[in-house]
Structure 1
Amino acid sequence: MRSPYSSLAPRAFWRNGVAGKNPSSVVDLYQPKFPISQDLKIATAGSCFAQHIARHLRLRDYNVLDLEPPSAAIPDSVAKRFGYRMFSARFGNIYAVQQLLQIAEETIGNTPLPESLVVWEAEGRYFDAMRPSVEPEGLDSAAEVMAHRQQHLHYVDRLFRLADIFVFTLGLTETWRDRESGTAWPTAPGTIAGSYDPDRHEFHNAGFAEILGQFEAFRTLIRRVNPEIKFLLTVSPVPLTATASDNHVLVATTYSKSVLRAVAGELAATHDDIDYFPSYELVASPLARAELYEPNLRTVRMDGVDMVMRQFFAAHGVETLDTDAAGPADSDADTAAYPEIDADEEALCDDVLLEQFAPGS
C-alpha cells in the first residue's frame, strides 16, 4: 500500500465528498449509530432550530411525545405563541446545556429552584424566568408562576422517564447567570421580563470542558430513571443575534458553534447511546455556500430545513414525502420551485428580541 489514504472511500476526500456538490447531493454524510423508528417514543428539546425537527418527525408519523398539550380547541397559531406544540413539553427554547441540566436536577434530582430565581416581574405581570416566553402576557402573581412551574416539572419528569430517544439541539454557549448560585437563565434579564442588576446578574460564556461535564451529568441523571434511553444531538446552524462577549458577533458565533460541535462530537465518540446528526455542517459549511440562509445570513430558509431533514430521513431509510421541497439546484439537478411555508411553521426564537437593542433600531 503506497499510503494509508490509498484505500479510503470517496467520502474521506474534499474533492470527492464536497467540491462540486450541494447539501442535497452529498452522500454518506450521516451514518446513524442506531435506528430511529416510528414506534419509538421521541422527545425533542433545545434551541429554536429543534422546533423544525419535531415538525418534520410529526409529518412522517413518528411518535413525538407531547406531554404538555393545550386544549384541542386552541388554534396552532395561538398555542405556539404560548409555548405549546413546539417541543415535547412546554419548555420554551433551551439554548444552553446548563439549562437542560438544571431542569433534570429540578425533576429527577428533586431540587426545585427557589422563587427568587424563578419569578421575574414586568409592569405588574409575573413570568417564569426559566421559560419567560411561554406566557407572553405574564401571570397575575408570583404564586401563580410557581404553581404553573410545579405542574410543568411534573410533565417534564414523566417525559424523561418515558422517552426512548431524546433529541436535543445545542444552541449557545453564552448565558446570563445569577452571581451567587450560578443558575443560568435562557435570556438576559430585562429582555422579556425582569430587570438587569449588575450586582446580581453576570454574563458567562461556557467552554468545552464545562459543557461536556454538564451533558454528562444530565445523561447520568436521566439514565438513573430511564437506563435504556438514547440521545440524538444536533448543533443549531443559526448564528448569534448578538453577543455580550466583547468580541465581534462573527467571532463570537464561530467560538460558540465550534465549542458546541466539539462537545457533540466528543459525546458521540465516547458513548454508544449518543449519536450526532450534522445539520450544522449541511447548512453552515462551505458546502452550502450560504445559500440556505435568508438575506440576513442568520435565518435558515425553509427549503434548507426541508433539505436537512430529507438527509436525516434518507439515512434512516424513510422515503421522501410528496410535500417535501426539492433541494437547491446544482450542475447535476434541475432547478426546483419551493412550496410556500405558512408563517406559523417558522421557529420562534427568543434571542431575536435582542435585535431591538442594536444601534439604529
Structure 2
Amino acid sequence: MNPYQSLPPRSFWRSAVAEPDPADIGGLWTPKFAVGQDDTVLTAGSCFARHIGRALLERGMNWRDAEPAPPGLSEEERRARHYGVFSFRTGNIYTAATLRQWLSWAHGETTPPDEVWAEGGRWYDPFRPSVDPAGHPSADAVRAARGTTLAALRGAVAEADCFIFTLGLTEAWLDRENGTVQPVCPGTVRGTFDAGRYAFHNFTFAEVHRDLSHAIELARAANPGLRVLLTVSPVPLTATATGGHALTATTYSKSVLRAVAGQLAQDHEYVDYFPAYEIVTGFPFRAGFFEPNLRTVTPDGVAFVMRQFFDALARVPAEQPRPAAVPAQPTTGEDFWCDDAVLDYYHQG
C-alpha cells in the first residue's frame, strides 16, 4: 500500500475534474466552521463580493447591512450610492492594504486624512470616489459621511460572527504625502493625477500577507470570536500599470492573493478559504462562466459558485435545513460595480 491507494476520487484529476460533466463537479470546499442561519455575516471586498451578500439574503441568512439606505430613495438612487452592496459603504476594497487602512481608521489605530476633493462646486471623498456620485455640499459633509461609515464598520465588526472578504488586486496607487492607499488611481474615477504625489505599487506576497494578517488582527481584537472567510475574485484586471501584459499581470495578482489566503487559512483555525476563483476560472469550465469580454462573470457562473458555497455549508453539522439550489440571478453587468473598470475607457485602439 502507498498513500495514494487510499485517497478518495476527489483527490485525482481524472475522476474529480476530467471525467465528470462540469455541472456535476462538487465537493470543492470543505468548510472549517459552520455559518448558521442566525449567524451575523458581513461581506466586503472587490466587485465580485456584491453577489455574496445578495445570495445570503435570498437564503434567509443573517447578512448585516450596517448602513441601510435612508427612506425616500428610489431603487436607482440606492444602487447609485452603493447602499446594500456591501455591509458598509466603503465602496470596493480591492487590496489587503485598503482593508487594513479602513479597519485601522475605524478602530482608532490611525486617523484618516482630512483631505477632500472639490469638483464643480461639490465635494467628494478620495477614499470612496464612487460611493456618492453626486458629491456633498461641503467638505465637512464628506468627513461626516466617512465618519458614519467608519462607525458602521466598527459596530458591525464588533457584533459579527463571520466576515467574508473577497480579495481582488495587488496593484494600487500610494500617496507619498500621507502614506495612504488610494482605492483607485486618482484621475480615473475622480480627482486629478499627480505623478509627483501618487506612486504605483504592486504588492508582493509578503506585503499582502502582512496587511491581511494585520487587518484580521484588528478585527479580532475588537471581536475575538470573529471567523474570517476569504475568497479571491475571478474577475481579471481591467488594465495593469506594470507595463506588462494584462494576462500575466492578472495571473500574478490572483496567484499572490490565492497563496496568501491559503497560507492564512492553513495557519489559523478561525480563517477559511472558499474557492470562488477556482470555480469560475478552472480548467473544466473552459471560460464558460464568463461573458464574451472574458471578464464579466455570467449569472449562471455566479449561481454555480453560490450553489457550491451553500451545498458545502449544508454538509457542516448545523441546526438548519439544507438550502435549495440557487437560481440564476439577473445582472446589470459586473463593470457597473467595479471601480477599476473605468480604466477600460483609457484603452486606445
Q: Normalised by the shorter chain, which TM-score bucket?
A: over 0.9
Aligned to 2:108: 109
Tell whether 2:234 aligns with 1:237: yes
Structure 1 residue identity aligned to 2:309: F
Distance 1:296 1:346, change over 3 A: closer
Aligned to 2:318: none
Aligned to 2:340: 351
Distance 1:319 1:187, change over 3 A: same
Give the stretch that moved more between structures: 302-311 or 135-144: 135-144
Aligned to 2:33: 34
TM-score, normalised relative to structure 2: 0.94
Structure 1 residue identity aligned to 2:272: D
Preserved contact between residue 175 and residue 199 of structure 2 (Cα < 8 Å): yes
1:21 to partner: Cα distance: 3.1
Aligned to 1:176: 173
Structure 1 residue identity aligned to 2:339: D
2:145 counterpart (144, 148, 153): 148
1:322 to partner: Cα distance: 6.4
> Secondary structure in 2 aligned to 1:316?
helix
Q: Separation in 1 of the partners of 2:178 and 2:259? A: 27
> Secondary structure in 1 aligned to 2:18?
coil
Distance 1:158 1:237, change over 3 A: same
Tell whether 2:192 aligns with 1:189: no
Give the stretch that moved more between structures: 233-242 or 152-161: 152-161
1:129 to partner: Cα distance: 1.1
Aligned to 2:289: 292
Aligned to 1:324: 327
Give the stretch that moved more between structures: 142-151 or 45-54: 142-151
Aligned to 1:130: 127
Structure 2 residue identity aligned to 1:203: F
Preserved contact between residue 173 and residue 182 of structure 2 (Cα < 8 Å): yes
Aligned to 2:82: 83
Preserved contact between residue 19 and residue 287 of structure 1 (Cα < 8 Å): yes
Structure 1 residue identity aligned to 2:144: A
Equivalence map 1:36-51=2 (5 Å): 36-51=35-50
Preserved contact between residue 47 and residue 334 of structure 2 (Cα < 8 Å): no
1:344 to partner: Cα distance: 8.3
Q: Separation in 2 of the partners of 1:102 and 1:194? A: 20
Give per-residue Cα distances to partners, 1:200-223, cap 9 Å, x unaligned: 001110010101111111111111
Aligned to 2:60: 61
1:164 counterpart (161, 165, 168): 161
> Secondary structure in 1 aligned to 2:200?
strand
Q: Separation in 1 of the partners of 2:41 and 2:302? A: 19
1:10 to partner: Cα distance: 1.1
Give per-residue Cα distances to partners, 1:157-184, cap 9 Å, x unaligned: 1011111100000000000110244311
Task: Structure 2: give runs of 5+ residues left out of the alignment.
Answer: 315-320
Q: Separation in 2 of the partners of 1:6 and 1:346? A: 46
Preserved contact between residue 51 and residue 302 of structure 2 (Cα < 8 Å): yes
Give the stretch that moved more between structures: 138-147 or 56-65: 138-147
Task: Structure 1: give runs of 5+ residues left out of the alignment.
Answer: 326-339
Q: Separation in 1 of the partners of 2:256 and 2:288? A: 24
Structure 1 residue identity aligned to 2:226: I
> Secondary structure in 2 aligned to 1:65?
coil
Structure 1 residue identity aligned to 2:274: F
Structure 2 residue identity aligned to 1:324: P
TM-score, normalised relative to structure 1: 0.91
Preserved contact between residue 303 and residue 326 of structure 2 (Cα < 8 Å): no
Q: Separation in 2 of the partners of 1:251 and 1:315? A: 32
> Secondary structure in 2 aligned to 1:115?
coil
Preserved contact between residue 46 and residue 93 of structure 2 (Cα < 8 Å): yes
Distance 1:22 1:123, change over 3 A: farther
Structure 2 residue identity aligned to 1:208: F
Distance 1:320 1:79, change over 3 A: same
Aligned to 2:317: none
Give per-residue Cα distances to partners, 1:128-158, cap 9 Å, x unaligned: 1111111111122222211211122111110
Preserved contact between residue 335 and residue 341 of structure 2 (Cα < 8 Å): no
> Secondary structure in 2 aligned to 1:187?
coil
Give the stretch that moved more between structures: 156-165 or 121-130: 121-130
Q: Separation in 2 of the partners of 1:79 and 1:345? A: 17
Q: How many residues align?
A: 343
Give per-residue Cα distances to partners, 1:261-306, cap 9 Å, x unaligned: 0000001000000010001000011121100000000000011000
1:244 to partner: Cα distance: 0.3
Preserved contact between residue 22 and residue 288 of structure 1 (Cα < 8 Å): no
Give the stretch that moved more between structures: 344-353 or 291-300: 344-353
Q: Separation in 2 of the partners of 1:23 and 1:141? A: 53
Structure 1 residue identity aligned to 2:114: E
1:347 to partner: Cα distance: 6.0
1:342 to partner: Cα distance: 5.2
> Secondary structure in 2 aligned to 1:234?
strand
